Structure 1
Amino acid sequence: MSNEFNDEFVKEIPDHVRQRLDQTYEKIRFQSKKKKKHNIWMRMTAAACCLLIVGIASTSEPVKAAISGIFKFNDSGIEQAVNAGFAEETDQSATNENVRITLDSYFSDYNKIGFSFQLLFEDPTLLSGKVEWISLDVRLKNGDGEYIVEFIPDTKPLYGKSDYSVGVHVMNPIIEQKTGIAQFDTVFDSTEGNFPALSNAVIEVESINVQYANGEFKKIDGEWNLPLNKAAKPFEVVEYVARESDKIKIVKANGNPTSLSLTISIDGEPTETPFAIMKVVDEQGIEYEAGSTNMTVKKGYTLISTTFPISSFVHAEKLQLIVGNEEVELTKTND
């Protein structure tokens, strides 16, 4: 069994839309320039690689009722966490430029941070015609002043150091043209599993981007600040240990609510992608393929960090790690 994408639900962003998105976000400068890093299978590290899932709704139900599920990225780890109640519901709203943005819910652990936004356009005609996608220019600032993620075009300055290797996923489950309601969900991945805990954080939305099918693009600049007054749900990290193979050393294998964070070490510096297959298999035989992956070359060895979409809420006692032709058993440590 596998947690592959459901083709009936997912619609990958068309090439012509991708090109316009590339022009808007030519470079999402998430990765630190201080480190030497090589991308292996980086699925979601820049806007050019974003997966945009768009569902045009026809309902005219109230805003709260119009939200047809959250964080439906076909990511089994996120879905397992949300189903277990890990997402925190909020009602923080801000209105500017005749658009109200509400943070409907969010989650945060060391591997992933996700936000589900509701947008209400006081002038619904902004959504008239065929809208292909809606996105936000958004930054997340922690209570200590650190900017953790900044999803912005290259035309805007970075406020933070960008020390986190981050992938990004975005989607529009709803764009309701008659009532001016839209939903924008986004998930940020830390390939190294090193997001800090959020405390008194603030989401800073600077712009709303609307892309129309006829090629027209509208950018609404403003200021929508959404404090995270409700703390993220608490969680415990599940640690796994493994016997070391001749070729692979397990540096870290930590289970978070949204995913398993794994770092392995191999000798030397590979001249090409070292492994064509990287996945874990749980006790039920379900396979979880590696997500965003980062490779850091050190002196004499290489670190490979990635996440797998299996939640700690699965309570797996053992996992089988498959890396190329190598297999390593991961065993949960005693509580």
Structure 2
Amino acid sequence: MAQYDIGLDTHKHTYPMQLITARQGELDGTTISATITKNGTPYDLAGLSVRFECVMPTGEWVRDTQTNIAGSVVSHVIAQKTLAASGHIHLAYFALYDSAGKKIETTDGFFINVLKSATFDADISAYSDQVDMLVADVHTLLVAWQKQCADQDAAFTSNEAGRIKAASDLLAKIQRDYTTAEAARDTSYTAAEATRTTTSDAATKRANDAATKVDQAISGNLQPYVDTAVAAQKDKAGGILGYDKYQREHYVADGTTIIAYEDGGVKKLKAAPGSSADGTTITATSDATGAKTFSVKASVMADITDTKAKAAANTAAIATTNTSVGVVADDVAKLKADMGTVSGVLKSVTGVA
């Protein structure tokens, strides 16, 4: 690699112009190392950028930012694009830019003699490495954008799958909740319907019973009400003594009544008023368990039997008398009929009414 060390001043008074020689199509074959001065004083390039600029023999311009700065020295490797056309480059220099990208000033010019190449296939066009960098930046941005799109697509696909699953799970939960609620509603409805039916049946029965009672009252059949009232008072304090209880607490000995009563909490028995309580008529005996048994004495029973026989004879005599009276009544009726017939014959014979 050939290197040319030259000095360039920003006041542009370097004469004669310095000459650099390179071959057409060379790639990184020639380096320019230029010491930049300002009125002969080394230029402080700190905070600045330096670009190589020229016009090729064919008239196309070149701007190349590929420079290295060390103090006031700028190094630049002439790019292959700059050497695309053979001939003389009469206008070449370095331009100084501030940090905002504004061109501050330029250096003296210098010549570049581009020798013709025997084999280089020239591709001559205006060139700026900034365009290449811009294209590279665009490519980088495009690659980054494509990656971002791919990442977004992947994220969307993943999120969409999650969203679909979440929606499916939610739908399944809604379906389960609906099924559960529907089953609970059916159960509640069935229970309510059963309660309603039971209540309705009970109400219907009460209404029918009431209607029956009204019908019975209207038709004069008050026996059910009497039965109900009697049952409500039966065998209660201040109420009515039932027949079964009466039979348990009272003993009839052929017309003589034994009454059971309490004396200081002790159950006792006594004869009814008008009966004998001295043992002449009713005898009380105890069995092996101590239970009391009451019976009418034999003499009294004989009298009662005789009385019953006499009563039966009287009843038979009355029946016979009644029969005789009936026969006499029949005879009288026949006599009346015969008298009526005789009376009719007499009226017809005598003509007497």
TM-score by length of 1: 0.26
Larger Rg: 2
TM-score by length of 2: 0.25
